[in-house]
Every structure is written in C-alpha cells, then in structure tokens.
Amino acid sequence: MDMRLNRIPSPVETIHLTAVCGTGMGALAGMLTDLGYRVTGSDQGVYPPMSDFLAGKGIPVTEGFSPANLAHGPDLVVVGNAVTRNNPEALALAEMGIAYCSMPQAVNHFIVRDRAVLMAVGTHGKTTTASILAWILHHAGLDPSFFIGGIVRDFQSNYRLGAGPYVVIEGDEYDTAFFDKGPKFLHYDPTIAILTSVEFDHADIFRDLAHIQEAFDRLIDRMAPASTLISFDGDKTVAELIQGRRCRVVPYGHRPESPWRLGRTEAAPPWTRFDVIRGGRPFGTFRTRLMGRHNLGNILACIAAADGIGIARAPIEAALESFQGPRRRQEIRGVKRGVTVIDDFAHHPTAVLETLLAVRSFYPRERLVAVFEPRTNTSMRRVFQEVYPRVFAEADRVLIRKPSRLDKIPPEERFSSEALVDDLKRRGMDAHHFDDTEAILRFLAETSQQGDVILIMSNGGFDNIHERLLAAL
C-alpha cells in the first residue's frame, strides 16, 4: 500500500468508514455527519444497536467489505483498527488512489482541531474517568466535546460536539491500524492527561508488562512542558514512568505527600461520601452514587483536572452528585423477585477484584454471585490463569463461563475455566463452570434467592444474559 496516501486531503466532502460498526468508529461517523460531511460505511455483522444508531443518522451502511463500496469515490476513507491489510477495501484503496487515515487521525483532524485535549489513559478506569470529567465540564458551563469508548448515561451517547474550548478523549493504548501499529493515544497532544494505572493487558499485541510500559513511556515523553500529567500514586509502574519528565506531574491517591489525596470515606448506599485533601489542606467533602475505591480514585483525578483548568468547587460537587456513570460499569440492569442484577465490563483480574470489592461495599450482607465470562484476547489466554483464583474472594458464589472463542487461541495458550473453578474450590469457595450461557441461566433461575446480588462481568454482550435472566426470574 502506498503510504503517501495515508493523509487527509483538502477539501473533504465525502468520507467512507471501513468497519463502521465499532463503538469508536460509529461515534466518529455520527460526529462527521453532524459536522456536515457526507458519510458512508461498511462492516461485517451490521446489527443493533449500532445499525439503528447509524440509520437514525442517515448514514448508509453496506453489509460486508468490497471494492464496490468505494465506487462512489469518497474523498477520504477512515480505516478501523479491526481492518486487516488483506481486507478487500484496504487492497482497493491503493489501486483506486483514494486517501485514507486511521480513526484517531480523523478525530484529531476533524474533531480536536484547536480544542485543548483532556485525556484519560491507563489499563483501568479510563472510560469512567473520561465520562466524569466530561460531565464536570458540562456542569461548569464549558460546553465540552468528548469522544469516549462507552455510552455515558448522563449524555446517552459516547460522543458530543460542543462549542467550548475543551475536548475530553479516552486515550486507548491499543494499536491504531494495520498501517500504524502504535497506540491510538499517541495521535493526541493533551493539555492534561490522567494516568490511572499501567498493568499487562492486550496479550494479542503486547509481549509483557515492559512492552506495554514502553507505549505509555512514549506518550509521557512527548507531552509538552506546559502540559500536566495527573498520575495515580498507588501503581508501581506509574511511579517508574513519571520520573524525570519535562511535563508537570501531579500525583493523586492516598499517599500523604501527594498534592491530591482522599481523606475519610464512607459507603452509605446509595451514596459514597468522601473528603478531598489538596496540598495538605481540606478541599471539600463530596458524595457520589458510584461505589468502590477505584471509582473514588477516578473521581479524585477528575477533581484535580477540573481544578487545574479553573473550575470552582460548587459545579464539581453538583456534577458528582448527579453523575450516573457510563453504561456497563456497575450498572444495575434490574431487580426481580428481590434479586438485583448488575452489569459490569470487568475482565482484567484487577478490574474483577475492584468491582467485587465495590459491589460488596454497598451490599455487605447480601449473597454476592459473581458471573464471569473470559472473553478478551488476554483473558482467554493462560496469562492470568494463576491470578484469577485470588480475585474472587469477595463473592459468595462464582460462575465461570467457558470462553466462547477459544478457537482463536493456540491450544497451548488457552485459559481453562475448569482449572479456575478447581482452584476456587480448593480455596473453599462455591464455584461452578459452564459450557454455555444457557446453562448459566438455568442454574441462576433455579438457585437464586430473594436478596441475592448477581454481578455479571464481561466485555461483550454475553448473549444478552442480563435481560434473559431478569425475564427468567
């Protein structure tokens, strides 16, 4: 492929998105349409809710990939990172001489423009952190734009085009495109970046922790001296990464020496109340409907960022009290027969642990049933086989689904749900493994009792288990 075509021409009127049905690509398609561009798209597996969203925007979407999808001669093609170099449309780009770019290139060119970037990055918490920050800016009257990897319930969208001077971006460490294997977040120049954590993940593209650390090192290294890095003080790798940087570094968390730290906290459902200390002095007492210490850390980072751009305490307080959170993050999907069903995106062992701790803090006496689907490229591998048994301790019962896409993983690298359950049983836990979602639904329908809290964790749709379970109950 001719890399000279990897650019954004001028002027641009028509834009085609290859693999348009991903969360980020669909949001970009909507934003470009709102900006007045003529947008088309193509993908495999065009189905709701993204298909409905794109149809509602008047964006024509073709099922499947073909050079014919480019026959109308778009000025630019945005190539999603799910597209391989052998994709029929990717092969046709060079032959037809059509300019192309990656999703973050397009976001930077068409959306960011002259706005100041506030970016959340890290292995965990970046969707929630970016959502909180966008909501604070909105409450402060700053009319922010944002581009986030999950639906923000407060806006009922994962993107927004505002007229204000700031754009909030969830910075992804995953690779950009088949022609650009660097992390997506390297395409942005943040005025403020929040770094929540750095752990090993994405085993399909990163070799080990050192490899993923290199990606974050590149991001921090290129931050301008006038920019600010707000970094979590409880992560050993983050502590190593922030040493000797030219940008301003502002730690947050629990350490007494950190400029921003949490004071007294109290779980008082439906609220979590907490004190914030700035520079050793009380900054304020806040409350939020979010649960768990990891969410308090995310909130604290956003308070520091908001204060850094001059937002007063009152709108911060009001925003936090009204913030609902992104979808699929400790989201209560319903209560039936006294059984509470909660949906969460957790899949990395640390996220599973923190999510269980958070839910337990709000439901200290209820029976907590953890239902887990290992679905990511990392969790379907043996990478964390010895780690997962240690993270379910807060659950009273654990149900593990056999990964549904193990055929994508070499046999010697595959995660074993049976081995995990055996390990949990050796720890004295009530644990069960299942070959499919239907078996889990039958088990839950037969064994659930009034007062149970069922926490379902997966980064996928999990065969719509949440609604099916509520219907069965």
Per-residue pLDDT tens digits for 124-177: 888 889 999 999 999 999 999 999 877 777 787 889 999 999 999 999 888 899
Whole-number Å distance between alpha carbons of 233 and 228 = 15
Indicate if 90 and 121 belong to the same structural domain.
no
Indicate if 252 and 163 belong to the same structural domain.
yes
Q: In what order do the strands lie in the sheet with 145-152?
A: 157-160, 145-152, 166-170, 116-121, 190-195, 228-232, 248-253, 260-268, 271-278, 281-288
Picking from 322, 339, 371, the residue at the C-terminal end of a domain is: 322
Question: Residue 109: inside a domain, yes or no?
Answer: no
**What mean pLDDT is predicted for residues 5-17?**
86
The tens digit of pLDDT for each residue in 311-345 reads 999 999 999 999 887 667 778 888 888 888 989 87
Indicate if 313 and 412 belong to the same structural domain.
no
The tens digit of pLDDT for each residue in 90-105 reads 999 988 999 999 999 9
Question: Residue 108: inside a domain, yes or no?
Answer: no
Q: Is 2 a residue whose pLDDT tops 60?
A: no
Residues of the domain holding 25? 3-103
Question: Residue 205: inside a domain, yes or no?
Answer: yes
Indicate if 275 and 153 belong to the same structural domain.
yes
- Separation in Å, CA 128 to CA 149, 154, 234, 330, 406: 9, 12, 18, 11, 29
Indicate if 289 and 150 belong to the same structural domain.
yes
Picking from 103, 127, 155, the residue at the C-terminal end of a domain is: 103
Q: Is 228 a residue whose pLDDT tops 90?
A: yes
**Contact in structure between 251 and 229 (CB atoms under 8 Å):** no
**What mean pLDDT is predicted for residues 31-42?**
96
Query: DSSP of 119-133, one letter per residue?
Result: EEESSSSHHHHHHHH
Which CATH number characterizes residue 214's domain?
Answer: 3.40.1190.10
**What mean pLDDT is predicted for residues 417-430?**
88
**Contact in structure between 356 and 348 (CB atoms under 8 Å):** no
What pLDDT score was predicted for residue 155? 80
pTM across the whole model:
0.85
Picking from 322, 340, 360, the residue at the C-terminal end of a domain is: 322
Q: Is 39 a residue whose pLDDT tops 60?
A: yes
Q: Is 244 a residue whose pLDDT tops 60?
A: yes
The tens digit of pLDDT for each residue in 165-222 reads 999 999 988 889 989 988 999 999 999 999 998 877 666 667 788 888 899 999 999 9
Q: Is 454 a residue whose pLDDT tops 50?
A: yes
Query: What does pLDDT average to over the chain?
Result: 89
% of the chain surpassing 90 pLDDT: 53
Indicate if 211 and 306 belong to the same structural domain.
yes
What pLDDT score was predicted for residue 1? 47
